[in-house]
């Protein structure tokens, strides 16, 4: 858990501290100009079942068709006592990019998946010792999500983009309950929306 936290913080920190000198130079294809491990984008997201706010960053390949991001999410205490912290690994595929002119672009379709880990003693991936084996068939900490979405953005100039994105997602076990109870639960009940901004540098 501590490792994932560290990675998330590193991702945020490193995306925030990409040397400015790199930007000053001509870089028609950023993918070739920086070592592979330096993140190429920073993200800030609202909702999406991975935090009220989540921040992080990651990498983009093949001219923005595949993204991999590491996000750290936070839910403040609302009606309960404790905040919730969530680390998320997110992969997104952007098959289409339309140029709208004047540097604006629309990516009407995205498809992606998330692996999110809720931190803290109340959440476990492996059944704790207090239970006999197979007492619960699921885990409470690690969730798999899937989403579709899109983005609208602008290059300042390419490849430095600012993109506003949205994701309509579902989370594994919430979807499971819907599939078991389609008469009592609507798809709208399990669907959740995320809104965010991604800055590529």
Partner 1 sequence: MAGGRQAVGFRRVVLAALLVGVAWGAAGCDPFSFSPHQVRFSESERDLTRKNLERIRGLPQEETFKIAVFGDTQGRMTETEDGVEALDERDDVSFAIQVGDLTDFGFTKEFRWTQRLLAEIDVPVLTVIGNHDHLGNGSELYEAMYGPLNHSFFFGRTKFVFLDDNSREHGFDGTVPDLGWLRRELPDDGSYDRAVVVSHVPPTDPDFDPALKDGFVEALRRGGAVLSLHGHVHDFSDDIPFDDGVRYVTADGMEGRNFLVVTIGPGRVEVEQVFF
In the complex, which residues of this chain contact partner 1 (CB under 8 A)? 46-52, 73, 75, 77-82, 84, 86, 98, 100-102, 104, 106, 118, 122-123, 128, 130-131, 136, 138, 140, 143, 150, 152, 166, 168, 171, 173-174, 177, 180-181, 183-186, 188-193
Rounded to a whole number of angstroms, the minimum distance from the CB of residue 147 to partner 1 is 12
Strands 192-200 and 84-93: unpaired
Rounded to a whole number of angstroms, the minimum distance from the CB of residue 159 to partner 1 is 19
Rounded to a whole number of angstroms, the minimum distance from the CB of residue 36 to partner 1 is 32
Q: Which of 69, 75, 73, 105 is nearest to 89 (CA)?
A: 69
Which residue number, 61 or 176, has a Cβ lying nearer to partner 1? 176
Rounded to a whole number of angstroms, the minimum distance from the CB of residue 59 to partner 1 is 25
Q: Please measure the distance between the N-terminal and C-terminal CA atoms of the chain and give it in whole angstroms.
A: 29
Which residue number, 42 or 47, has a Cβ lying nearer to partner 1? 47
Report d(CA 62, CA 123) in Å as an integer.
37
Write out the E strands in the chain: 41-47, 53-61, 66-75, 84-93, 98-101, 104-118, 142-155, 161-171, 192-200
Which residue number, 22 or 189, has a Cβ lying nearer to partner 1? 189
Which residue number, 27 or 123, has a Cβ lying nearer to partner 1? 123
For the chain, counts of helices (H) and of strands (E): 5, 9
């Amino acid at each position: 858990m501590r490792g994932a936290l560290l990675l998330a913080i590193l991702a945020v920190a490193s995306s925030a501290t990409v040397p400015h000198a790199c930007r000053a130079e001509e870089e028609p294809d950023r993918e070739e100009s920086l070592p592979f491990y330096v993140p190429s984008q920073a993200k800030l997201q609202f909702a999406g079942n991975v935090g009220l706010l989540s921040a992080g960053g990651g990498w983009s390949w093949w001219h923005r068709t595949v993204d991999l991001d590491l996000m750290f999410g936070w839910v403040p205490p609302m009606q309960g006592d404790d905040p919730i912290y969530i680390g998320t690994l997110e992969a997104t595929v952007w098959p289409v990019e339309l140029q709208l002119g004047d540097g604006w672009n629309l990516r009407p379709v995205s498809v992606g998946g998330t692996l999110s880990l809720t931190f803290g003693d109340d959440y476990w991936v492996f059944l704790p010792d207090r239970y006999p084996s197979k007492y619960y068939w699921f885990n409470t900490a690690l969730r798999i999500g899937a989403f579709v979405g899109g983005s609208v953005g602008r290059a300042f100039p390419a490849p430095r983009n600012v993109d506003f994105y949205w994701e309509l997602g579902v989370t594994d076990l919430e979807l499971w309950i819907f599939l078991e109870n389609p008469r009592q639960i609507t798809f709208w009940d399990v669907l959740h929306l995320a809104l965010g901004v991604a800055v590529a540098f």
